[in-house]
Amino acid sequence: SGTPLAGRVAVVTGASSGIGEATAARFAELGAKVALVARRGDRLDQVEDRVRADGGTALALPTDVTDRAAVLAMADRVADELGQVDLVFANAGVQLISGITDLATADWDAQIDLNIKGVMNTIQAFVPSLESAAAAGRSADLITTSSIAAVRILEGFQVYSATKAYVTQLSKLLRTELGRKKIRVATIEPGMVDTELPDHVTDPAASKLMADLIAQIDVLSSEDVAETVAFMSAVPKHVNLTEITILPTEQI
Ligand code: NDP
């Protein structure tokens, strides 16, 4: 059918731009009700309007996912307003590359707080709901956004890559507990995607390096990634596409 996610209730973090925005829109297009989570409320409102204009259901819930109490409060609102969540896309992340000798400690903290703790906060808030959905015989998905940086050796990426290695490993570890409860845990590892990600890099040289790399090849769009995440969520519930790497064809 054209709506393989009908009846599902999704939460997407990082839904105000890039991969999260595209995936939230795709989930809604495929029939899911979608909670839109990020900090920029104005951007979430735009995504909500776009989904509604297309006949879908979305709810903007501005939240900083590094704030554990705020994430728990957001989860309560989702349950009240959209119903029991059965599809979680823990996607919000930031990439702040710099040399280790730069001692860009604020950037280290920002990446660890969002890419690690923000993901854990999201998981903590929604695992009970996923357990209930799975116990009731419904599909239940926890999908994270890792990166090929999880496994590649890239200069300046020491903290970012470590956070993404954590995300990939976490996904494998959680399957030991959640797989037998019929919760599908999976991760997507994209290569270069054209998003706002490089705009946040504080080191100008690193920022230029990223922009140059992106300009050299035909990189992925957020929609390319969204399509894949939607596919991972829509396969029969006994099937788990545990780890998918998606690269631009030209990226080696
Ligand atoms: P964007 O910068 O476009 O998206 C990042 C999203 O995270 C935004 O919606 C941002 O919204 C949100 N966010 C940032 N901080 C917080 C916070 N504290 N609380 C809640 N939301 C937050 O980049 P991408 O779409 O590229 O990034 C999405 C994911 O993809 C990240 O995990 C990234 O590491 C990963 N990735 C990206 C690749 C790429 O080439 N682009 C490659 C591989 C992985 P707001 O500022 O409104 O809070």
Flag whether 4 is in a domain.
no
Q: Return the residue whose CA atom lies nearest to atom 17 of ligand 1.
A: 64
Report whether residue 203 contacts ligand 1, using a CB cutoff of 6 Å: no
Rounded to whole angstroms, the Cα distance separating 22 from 223 reads 5
Task: Indicate the DSSP class of residue 219.
Answer: P
User: Which whole-number Å values give the CA distances from 195 to 44, 185, 192, in the listed order?
Assistant: 16, 25, 9
Flag whether 96 is in a domain.
yes
Flag whether 204 is in a domain.
yes
CATH number at residue 177: 3.40.50.720
Flag whether 117 is in a domain.
yes
Contacts with 145 (C-beta within 8 Å, 6 or more apart), sequence order: 14, 19, 89, 90, 91, 93, 167, 187, 188, 190
pLDDT score, position 1 = 57
Flag whether 221 is in a domain.
yes
Residue of 11, 19, 159 with the most ligand 1 atoms within 8 Å of its CB, for mutation: 19
Q: How many domains is the chain built from?
A: 1
Q: Which atom of ligand 1 is nearest to the CA of 214?
A: 40
Flag whether 20 is in a domain.
yes
pLDDT score, position 213 = 82
Report whether residue 196 contacts ligand 1, using a CB cutoff of 6 Å: yes
Q: Which atom of ligand 1 is nearest to the CA of 220?
A: 40
pLDDT score, position 141 = 98
Helices then strands, counting H and E runs in the chain, come out as: 8, 7
Whether 160 is catalytic: yes
Flag whether 1 is in a domain.
no
Taking the model in full, what pTM does it have? 0.97
Helix, strand, coil % in the chain, rounded to nearest 5: 50, 15, 35
Which residues of the chain register pLDDT less than 50? none
Q: Which atom of ligand 1 is nearest to the CA of 39?
A: 48
Catalytic residue among 108, 157, 160, 166: 160
What is the span of the domain harbouring residue 98? 9-246
